[in-house]
Amino acid sequence: MRRIRYILQKEFLQIFRDKALLPIIIIIPIIQLVVLSYTATYEIKNIRLVVVDQDHTPDSRALTREFTGSPFYKLEGSLPNYAQAFHLMQKGTADQILVIEPHFEKNLETTKKASVQLITNAINGSAAGVMQGYGVSIINGFHNNIQIEQHPGQAKGLPIQTDTSYWYNPELNYFTFMVPGILVLLVSLIGLFLSSMNIVKEKELGTITQLNVTPINKFEFIAGKLIPFWVIAMADLTVGLLVARFWFDIHIAGNPVLLLFVTSVYMVLILSFGLFISTMAQTMQQAMFISWFFLVIFILMSGLFTPIESMPAWAQEFNRINPLAYFIKINRMIMLKGSVFSDIRNEFFILAGYAIAMLGFSTLRYRKTS
Amino acid sequence: MSEKIIEVKDLVKKFGNFVANDHLTFDVNRGEIFGFLGANGAGKTTAIKILTGLSKPTSGDVQVAGVNVSKYPERVKKKIGYMNQSFSLYDDMTVRENFRFYGGIYGLSKAEIKERTKHFLTKLNMEAYGNRMLKSIPLGWKQKLAFSVANIHNPGVIFLDEPTGGVDPITRRQFWELIYEAADRGTTVFVTTHYMDEAEYCERVCILSEGKIKALDTPVKLKQDFNTTNMNDVFLKLARNVE
């Protein structure tokens, strides 16, 4: 066991002397966390709106104000007719057109039907859905207010009143949703790449042969390779959590110690997986591509960007062996829901079992005698 | 009869249909400098890998320092030193750090590591280079360092696989002085080489060709047998017989 100390000392020396590796370990995660969290958002701001007001009454102007007063909208222009407005959309300078028809106010007051038309640029389908949703909710809000104003004391017009409240992330803040997931992504990425390149690097340099003629034992070797990266990944996560807390102002609902504890087990799994790849690969290039292959599949299927529940059944089955899926789930449960250990027990034990198995595989796969 | 430290009987190593080592049988005495000669592809490196527990033999019996190597490859590793043709210390660590790492791996105490490092640096006249990164040190010096690192735990046998490849003649001579010193202390040296002048330095040489032992004796006896004045001609005559 005393040998592990010497292996650790060597590995840390080599990591901290590697001028290319150090920025990857320290700076890139923070930059990525900050950049990705701002960019990986479904929120749409600054929707460029063109209004075609053919009514010119206090009510039509009030509706326009509802739009321009919203933080999501920016008034691109007011034009007299639809053809001119549509020209702007074709040019790509308008995202949405609001057409208020003549006699809008008159129709509203006489309780006849009053129509507005909302045209949305749907080149990006999911963005269009979001813009459409914003627009409709503003119009509905305006409609309700009109009803209350016109018929004070009367019951509201809509027979069923939906009162929506969002739990665990009440403001539907995308940072709150994305940052925990991106943190998971970053430690997995760093952990898997660093570990999968490590042993194969010694193979390429030929230094592994010199190690293999020493009495170093397999477990000491794997442990000596795993622990430095484990320490680095845990440090990265801790820094990431601090950035999440103080930069993005995300309050961790659960216990951060529990989160670090689960991460510590998860990292053993990811690093063992990387070392396993490293014992199999003959060149660093192979190791790189194999890690990349698994990581991309794991990430895209993990539920980080799209909900697992809406994936086909086979994909959901696949996620039973996807370590990222378990960890992202646990991570969000702790960070957003404030889950305690008993809530995440099942996922945790699966991860722990998986970690032990993978550690075993990589130790067995490392052969000193061919 | 002196004590045998390496005993090899009927060693066979096959890679598919290719026979790399074809029924090798030889012994090496304790404290001997034993040369293993042969052209590229003669099976030298294959045999040395088996003797050091890096590779499993297909069949045959291999005993090194009293350990059955094919059965207990890990046990023999405590008792041997090894240095190979491709330089294998860490370039991004200093000379001292390399000594410390390998000393630690072989289970030496801190004091022992310190003492051994000092001993080798003094002997190599490299005290001033202890804290230099290995990558900044010339190849010939690196080879001498690698030899010293392979000796750090005072092994009973040291295996050198073409230790002087690509090294200038002066450094090669110095390297052989190190080998003699080790042998004087009782370390058995098993060395493979291409250089026939180096073969003359060995107490006995074994010439390998196409996986078989073609000759095994002292250089003096071999030169008599082949009626030549130098090992180079012995080697060429044997190689010609093959063709």
- pLDDT at position B120 is 94
Tokens (6 digits) for A155 = 């019951």
Q: Which chain B residues contact residue A5 at CB under 8 A?
A: 104
Name the residue range of residue A114's domain.
Answer: 47-150
Q: Does residue A370 sit within a domain?
A: no
Q: Does residue A118 sit within a domain?
A: yes
pLDDT digits (tens, 9 = 90+) for A212-271: 999 998 999 999 999 999 999 999 889 888 888 888 888 888 898 999 999 999 999 999
Q: Which of B85, B105, B132, B158 to substitute to test the interface with A, most A CBs within 10 Å? A: B105
B129: pLDDT strictly greater than 70: yes
- pLDDT at position A151 is 67
Q: Which residue from A263, A233, A235 is spatially nearest to A334, judged by alpha carbons?
A: A263
Q: Which of A206-244 are b and which e, b meaning 16 or more Cβ less than 10 Å from the residue's Cβ?
A: ebbbbbbbbbbbeebbbbbbbbbbbebbbebbeebbebb
| A349, A248: one domain | yes
Q: Which chain B residues contact residue A217 at CB under 8 A?
A: 74
Inter-chain CB proximity B54 and A209 less than 8 Å: yes
Number of domains in chain A: 2
ipTM of the complex: 0.89
Q: Which of B83, B86, B105 sits opposite A214 (nearest CB)?
A: B105
Q: Which of B89, B90, B105 sits opposite A3 (nearest CB)?
A: B105
- pLDDT at position A169 is 60
A171: pLDDT strictly greater than 80: no
Q: Which residue from B198, B233, B197, B231 is spatially nearest to B217, judged by alpha carbons?
A: B231
Boundary of a domain, candidates A117, A150, A183 = A150
Residue A309 burial by Cβ neighbours in a 10 Å radius (0-12, 13-18, 19+): exposed
| A210, A95: one domain | no
Inter-chain CB proximity A207 and B73 less than 8 Å: no
Q: Which chain A residues contact residue B78 at CB under 8 A?
A: 215
Q: What is the mean pLDDT of residues A166-179?
A: 67
3-state secondary structure chain A: CHHHHHHHHHHHHHHHHCCCHHHHHHHHHHHHHHHHHHHCCCCCCCEEEEEEECCCCHHHHHHHHHHHCCCCEEEEEECCCHHHHHHHHHHCCCCEEEEECCCHHHHHHCCCCCCEEEEECCCCHHHHHHHHHHHHHHHHHHHHHHHHHHCCCCCCCCCCCCCCCCCCCCCCCHHHHHHHHHHHHHHHHHHHHHHHHHHHHHHHHCHHHHHHCCCCCHHHHHHHHHHHHHHHHHHHHHHHHHHHHHCCCCCCCCCHHHHHHHHHHHHHHHHHHHHHHHHHCCCHHHHHHHHHHHHHHHHHHCCCCCCHHHCCHHHHHHHHHCHHHHHHHHHHHHHHHCCCHHHHHHHHHHHHHHHHHHHHHHHHHCCCCC
Q: Which chain A residues contact residue B102 at CB under 8 A?
A: 214
| Contacts for A121 with CB less than 8 Å, ≥ 6 apart | A89, A94, A95, A96, A128, A131
Interface of B with A (CB under 8 A): 52-56, 73-74, 77-78, 80, 82-84, 86-93, 97, 100-102, 104-107, 159
Q: Does residue A158 sit within a domain?
A: no
Strands B204-209 and B18-29, bridge-based pairing: unpaired
- Residue B16, Cβ neighbours under 10 Å: how many? 5
Q: Which residue from A245, A240, A306 is spatially nearest to A25, judged by alpha carbons?
A: A240
Return the minimum-mean-pLDDT range out of A118-132, B73-87, B98-112.
Answer: A118-132
| A213, A355: one domain | yes
| A197, A322: one domain | yes
Q: Which of A86-117 are b and which e, b meaning 16 or more Cβ less than 10 Å from the residue's Cβ?
A: bebbeeeebbbbbbbeebbbebbeeeeebebe
Inter-chain CB proximity A3 and B104 less than 8 Å: yes
Boundary of a domain, candidates A150, A180, A197 = A150
| A187, A141: one domain | no
Q: Which chain B residues contact residue A214 at CB under 8 A?
A: 77, 102, 105-106
Q: Domain-by-domain residue ranges, chain B? A: 4-242
- pLDDT at position B183 is 92
Q: Does residue A163 sit within a domain?
A: no
Share of chain B above pLDDT 90, in %: 67
Q: Does residue A157 sit within a domain?
A: no
Cα–Cα distance for residue pair A302/A299, rounded to 1 Å:
5
Q: How many CA atoms lie within 13 A of A103 on its CB side?
A: 6
pLDDT digits (tens, 9 = 90+) for A54-64: 988 988 898 89
pLDDT digits (tens, 9 = 90+) for A12-52: 999 999 888 888 888 878 787 778 777 766 667 788 999 99
| A23, A140: one domain | no
Q: Which chain A residues contact residue B114 at CB under 8 A?
A: none
Residue B76 distance to chain A (closest CA, Å): 8
| A20, A57: one domain | no
CB B232 within 8 A of CB B226: no
CB A268 within 8 A of CB A227: no
Inter-chain CB proximity B104 and A5 less than 8 Å: yes
A166: pLDDT strictly greater than 70: no
Q: Which of B84, B93, B97 sits opposite A209 (nearest CB)?
A: B84
CB A113 within 8 A of CB A79: no
Q: What is the mean pLDDT of chain A?
A: 86
Token pair 């370039």 is at which residue?
B91
Q: Does residue A193 sit within a domain?
A: yes
Q: How confident is the model at residue A157 (pLDDT cuts 50, 70, 90)?
A: low
Q: Does residue A263 sit within a domain?
A: yes
> Among the CATH numbers 3.40.50.2300, 3.40.50.300, 3.30.70.1290, 3.40.50.720, which is that of B4-242?
3.40.50.300
| A189, A337: one domain | yes
B179: pLDDT strictly greater than 80: yes
Q: What is the mean pLDDT of residues A314-335?
A: 89
Q: How confident is the model at residue A162 (pLDDT cuts 50, 70, 90)?
A: low
Q: Does residue A302 sit within a domain?
A: yes
| A74, A34: one domain | no
Inter-chain CB proximity A9 and B101 less than 8 Å: yes
- pLDDT at position B95 is 95
| A222, A302: one domain | yes
- Closest-approach residue (CA) in chain A for B85: A206
Radius of gyration of chain B from its Cα atoms, rounded to whole angstroms: 18
Residue B101 distance to chain A (closest CA, Å): 6
Q: Which chain A residues contact residue B106 at CB under 8 A?
A: 214-215
DSSP B49-68: HHHTTSS--SEEEEEETTEE
Distances (CA, A) of B209 to A135, B20, B37, B235, B239: 86, 10, 9, 10, 7
Question: What CATH number has the domain bearing residue A85?
Answer: 3.40.1710.10
